[in-house]
């Protein structure tokens, strides 16, 4: 995406079809929902939902990493204190031969 101009309150941007679709929250310009939208010249796209979603992800990214690290540490501690137990296989003599 490239800013190619400026308006009173914003910018004029040049972007590929995929960039426009992804900035709107779709996977690509080939997504069925994006195609149903029928975006073209003059279409006004509200990016606020996608921007809000990505902002929330970014905001909580460090917390998620800390939580993942804590869970990994707890799992490692549990692995260290659990006895090595081997569960014998089920008694195969109970099975009926056909």
pTM over 0.85: no
Q: If you ran DSSP here, which 8-state letter would residue 29 be given?
A: T
Cβ count within 10 A of residue 97: 3
Q: Please tell me the distance from the alpha carbon of residue 19 to that of residue 66, in angstroms, as a whole number.
A: 31
For the segment 49-96, what is each residue's pLDDT rounded down to a tens digit? 778 888 888 889 989 999 999 999 998 888 777 766 666 677 766 555
Q: Give 34: exposed, middle or buried? Use CB within 10 Å, 0-12, 13-18, 19+.
A: buried
The ranges assigned to domains in the chain are 1-45, 46-78
Enumerate residues 6+ apart whose C-beta is below 8 A from 14: 1, 2, 4
């Amino acid at each position: 995406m490239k800013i190619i101009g400026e308006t009173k309150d914003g910018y004029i941007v040049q972007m590929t079809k995929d960039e426009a679709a992804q900035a709107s929250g779709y996977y690509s310009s080939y997504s069925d929902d994006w195609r149903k939208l029928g975006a073209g010249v003059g279409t006004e796209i509200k990016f606020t939902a996608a921007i809000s979603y990505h902002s929330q992800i970014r905001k909580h990214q460090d917390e998620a990493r800390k939580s993942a690290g804590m869970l990994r540490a707890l799992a490692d501690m549990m692995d260290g204190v659990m006895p090595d137990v081997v569960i014998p296989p089920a008694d195969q003599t109970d099975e009926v031969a056909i």
